[in-house]
Amino acid sequence: MEAIGIENQPEALRSHLAVRCAKAALFLSRLKFPRNRSADSTTFTEHQGREMELSRTVEDLRRKLVRERLKNRRVKLCGVMELLLQMVLLLSLWTLCLMLALKFL
């Protein structure tokens, strides 16, 4: 169970880093935006299209990050449930052994 969380951690960090890079690119594209919109309408539409594409990418990466967080939460919950089940099984076996030992005494 521990190995699964460790393997997914770099992937989650990469997703988080990708979201941050996309945000930075979006902000940089806004800074590079030309001040005179009427003179450069083609670059305006280009920048607007690029901005829309970057915002879609950011939203997709956010969704992916949320899915990964939910997946990690489920893995942790399954690990806890597995541990609890093993403890109950062990307690049951000890009880059975104790009952058998007391029966033969």
Reading the block at residue 46, the tokens are 């280009």
- Residue 7: band (very low, low, confident or very high) from pLDDT cuts 50, 70, 90: low
In single-letter form, the type of residue at position 51 comes to E
Each residue's pLDDT tens digit, 16-41: 888 888 888 877 777 765 555 555 56
**Tokens at 13, concatenated:** 């960090």
Is 61 within a domain?
Answer: yes
Is 99 inside a domain boundary?
no
Is 100 among the domain residues?
A: no
Digit-coded pLDDT (tens) for 36-87: 555 556 777 888 888 899 989 999 999 999 999 999 999 999 999 999 999 9
In a domain, 105, yes or no: no
Task: Give me 62's structure tokens.
Answer: 């956010």
Structural domains in the chain (count)? 1
Domain encompassing residue 55: 2-76
94 domain residue, yes or no: no
51 domain-assigned: yes
Is residue 83 situated within a structural domain? no
- In a domain, residue 92? The reply is no
12 vs 40, which has greater pLDDT? Answer: 12
Which pLDDT does position 2 carry in this prediction? 44
